[in-house]
Amino acid sequence: MLQAGDLAPSFSLASDGGRQVDSATLKGSRYVLYFYPKDDTPGCTREACAFRDRLPAFDKLGVPVFGVSADPAKAHDKFVNKYSLNFPLLADPEHQLLEAYGVWVGKSLYGRKYFGIQRCTFVIDAKGRIEKVWQKVSPDSHAGEVLAYLAGEAAPAVPVAKAAVKTAAVKTAAVKRAAVKKAATRKAPPKKPVAAKKAAKKAATRR
């Protein structure tokens, strides 16, 4: 799979609505390519609808969004019409762009091995290079994640030192709780009967 800093592969692919999208026309602007396994499947539908609902915000940033799968353009037409999608879906049934990006990969399901599309996303910068890559994508939240990155609002990562201190504190607290619980459940030594105590006391005074 291509990584940030790599030159983005050029392409000219059919899209829904009888359109043709050429990467040469996108030079000078950032754009998003998100790769998904198949039209009208549960995860891919949720992801597409999430991009659909946030598209005005992408438009405001001047960053177009393109979905890419191996489905033919006719399947894209049905998918677009069914869910009122408002961005182009690129058809790559020959896997040219999929293989160029390294997202046409071997998979396994219930012991059956096959090739398919890895769900991932690329941001291409204005110079035609890959700016950002997401290899692990959650269909429900990913559109918002991409939008936040483009707007410069991505949440900062927790510093390593701070995270380590927090982890140590949690472990210490857990150890203390375990010790308290163990002490509380520990049985006290059995008490001697009162009669036995008196007998022992008399025996001691006779000596």
Task: State yes or no: pLDDT of 3 exceeds 70.
Answer: yes
Q: How far apart are CA 51 and CA 34, in angstroms?
A: 10
Question: Range of 187's domain?
Answer: 160-206
Domains identified in the chain, total number: 2
- Say yes or no: 144 and 168 in one domain: no
Nearest to 90 by CA among 31, 138, 29, 145: 31
Euclidean distance between the first and final Cα of the chain, in Å? 92
1 falls within a domain: no
What is the per-residue pLDDT for 189? 54
pTM for this structure? 0.74
- Say yes or no: 94 and 184 in one domain: no
Q: Which of 127, 150, 173 is the last residue of a domain?
A: 150
* DSSP assignment of 152-194: T-PPPPPPHHHHHHHHHHHHHHHHHHHHHHHHHHSPPPPPPPH
Q: Which of 121, 150, 179 is the last residue of a domain?
A: 150
Tens-place pLDDT, residues 83-128 = 999 999 999 999 999 999 999 999 888 888 989 999 999 999 999 9
Nearest to 56 by CA among 47, 66, 48, 64: 64
Mean pLDDT of 177-204: 54
Q: One of 8, 26, 33, 44 is an active-site residue; which one? A: 44
- Say yes or no: 146 and 171 in one domain: no
44 an active-site residue? yes
Neighbours of 65 (CB within 10 A): 22
Q: Which residue has the tokens 């949720």?
A: 46
